[in-house]
């Protein structure tokens, strides 16, 4: 009784070998890379979340998705290196904005947010040349 079971297991293992070898051949090819855009001057910034406070309690979240268009290659490299500092400046500025201006019953002014982030970018880089591009702004209201 053990012999037929052993033969079946060996047959299944041998049948799987050609597929396994083909699988390794496919892995030798480079997997396609996901790109947000074809533009080499674009840098995507991870979404930024800040808390909306009402009546001294969290009332929701503001999410801002942003990217930077930097045609100057030297400035592009500088921004890539200093992205943690730039992201920190964005978060600090948006936290202040959210605490003072954003309410859960109205959509925030996207023009004001774009202008604030552009000013932060120019100030942090100590020069102009990186254009802020807003991708998405959303509010999530916390239910009671």
Residue 24 has what pLDDT?
Answer: 54
Q: Is the pTM of this model over 0.75?
A: no
Is residue 1 predicted with pLDDT exceeding 70? no
| DSSP per-residue letters across 6-72 | HHHHHHHHHHHHHHHHHHHHHHTSPPPPP-S-S-TTEEEEEEEEEEEEETTEEEEEEEEEEEEE---
Q: Please name each of the domains of the chain with its CATH number.
A: 42-141 (3.30.479)
Which band of pLDDT confidence, cut at 50, 70 and 90, is reported for residue 137?
A: very high
Per-residue model confidence as pLDDT tens digits over 70-124: 999 999 999 999 899 999 999 999 999 999 999 988 889 999 999 999 999 999 9
d(CA 66, CA 137): 9
Residue 136 has what pLDDT?
Answer: 93
Per-residue model confidence as pLDDT tens digits over 15-65: 666 655 455 555 567 766 655 566 788 999 999 999 999 888 899 999 999
């Amino acid at each position: 009784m053990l012999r037929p079971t052993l033969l079946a297991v060996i047959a299944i293992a041998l049948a799987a070998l050609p597929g396994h070898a083909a699988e390794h051949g496919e892995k030798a090819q480079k997997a396609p890379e996901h790109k947000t855009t074809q533009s080499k001057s674009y840098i995507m910034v991870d979404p930024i979340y800040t808390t909306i406070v009402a009546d001294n309690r969290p009332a929701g979240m503001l999410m801002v998705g942003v990217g930077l268009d930097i045609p100057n290659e030297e400035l592009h490299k500088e921004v890539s290196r200093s992205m943690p500092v730039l992201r920190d400046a964005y978060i600090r500025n948006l936290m202040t904005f959210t605490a003072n201006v954003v309410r859960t019953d109205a959509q925030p002014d996207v023009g004001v947010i774009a202008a604030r982030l552009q000013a932060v970018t120019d100030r942090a880089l100590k020069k102009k040349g990186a254009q802020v591009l807003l991708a998405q702004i959303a509010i999530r209201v916390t239910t009671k």
